[in-house]
Amino acid sequence: MEWTYKKAHCRKTAPETQTLGSLKAVGTLPTRKQPLGTIPRFMPPLQILCLPQYSVGQLFLSQQGQLFVSLKFSYCEFSLTVFLWLTPMAVSVRKPGLIALFDVDGTLTAPRKVAAPQMLEFMRQLRKVVTVGVVGGSDLTKISEQLGKTVIADYDYVFSENGLVAHQDGKLIGTQSLKSFLEEEKLKNFEVGCSMNVSPIGRNCSQEERDDFEKYDKIHNIRPKMVSVLREKFAHLNLTFSIGGQISFDVFPQGWDKTYCLRYLDDFQEIHFFGDKTYKGGNDHEIYESERTVGHTVTSPEDTMEQCKALFLSNH
C-alpha cells in the first residue's frame, strides 16, 4: 500500500461520530521513531516536540468511506494524539490480486519502435493503481531498446522471450533455454532448416522495408504459408509456430507461448492481458484465450491507454 499526504488534514481531536457514523479500524501501523526534521510539513502540532515518536497508529474507515490515520505521539510524560484525514486524491492503493499484463509491439509501442514519452509516463501512473507486467517474444536487450534500459525496475514483472527469462522487482526469478529442453540431435536437425525466429525478408532490413513487407504479407500471406509447411515438416518435434511483429514468426515448443509467464503469477486472481495480435496464429492468441486471463484486444498504443483509463483509472 502506498500513501501520499498532499491533501491530508491535521487535527488534535477525535472525529465527530454524528458526522462520520461508526468507524472501523482497517490497519495498524508499526511503532516508529522519527527525527523532527523528517516530519511532514502537514503536521504543525508536532513542531513543539523535540524527539517525537508514535507508539500507536491505526488506519480507520468511516461508513461514508472516508479514511484517516490516528497517531499517538509521546515525549517524556506528555502525549498527543493526531488524526490525519486522507482525501481520495491523497491515497494511492493498489488493488490486491490484480495485474495488468502488456504485450510490447503494437500494444505499448509501434512495432520495433521506442515507446513514446506519454506512454512511459502513463505506465508509471498506472503502476500506482495496479501491478503492471510486460511480456514480449523478444529478448531483454530488444525490449530494453523499446521501453528503456531500466525496464526491469520500471515494471513489477518483465517477461522476455515469452517468459523464458523472468524478472520480478528488478531481480531474475527464472530462466529456460531451448537447448536444455530439446534433445541436441533434434535441435541440430531443426536448425538445418531455419532458426528459432524466422524472417522471410531478413531481420537486418530497414524500417521502410519492414513496412513494405508487412503490407505485402497481408495480401499474399507469405508467413502463414511458410508456417503451414514447417508445421507439417517438423510435426514430430511438437513445436508451435507463432506469427508476430511485422516481418517474422517465432518457433518454440508447445506451451512456450506467452502463457509460459503465467506460472509466475499464481498470486493473482485477476490477470488482464492487453495485446494486438490476439487472432488465431498471432503471438498473443494463446494468452488472450487462456482461462486464467481476461483478454483485451488493442489496435495501437493509444488504444491501450484509453482502455486502461476506462478499466483502472476511471475513479482516479
293 annotated binding-site participant: yes
203 annotated binding-site participant: yes
- Going by C-alpha positions, the residue among 110, 80, 91, 107 that lies closest to residue 10 is 80
Categorise residue 292: left if φ over 0, alpha if ψ from -120 to 50, beta otherwise.
Answer: alpha
288 annotated binding-site participant: yes
What is the helix (H) or strand (E) element at residue 171, kind and residue range?
strand 171-175
257 annotated binding-site participant: no
Residues facing residue 273 across a β-bridge: 101, 295
124 annotated binding-site participant: no
- 306 Cβ partners below 8 Å, 6+ apart? none
φ, ψ of residue 114 in degrees (nearest 5)? -80, 140
Q: Rounded to an integer, what is the distance from CA 119 to the centroid of its chain?
A: 13
**Residue 197 near residue 246, CB atoms below 8 Å:** no
276 annotated binding-site participant: yes
300 annotated binding-site participant: no
C-alpha separations of 257 from 98, 161, 220, 239, 289 in Å: 22, 9, 25, 10, 12
Residues listed for the chain: 316
Give CA–CA dist 288/290, Å, rounded. Answer: 6
- 195 Cβ partners below 8 Å, 6+ apart? none
**Residue 251 near residue 273, CB atoms below 8 Å:** no
Q: Which residues are catalytic?
A: 103, 105
138 annotated binding-site participant: no
Give me the residue label for grid cell 501491478. Answer: 131
Cell of 127: 503502476
Residue numbers belonging to the annotated binding site: 103, 105, 112, 203, 210, 248, 250, 276, 288, 293
Residue numbers belonging to the annotated binding site for Mg(2+): 103, 105, 276, 288, 293
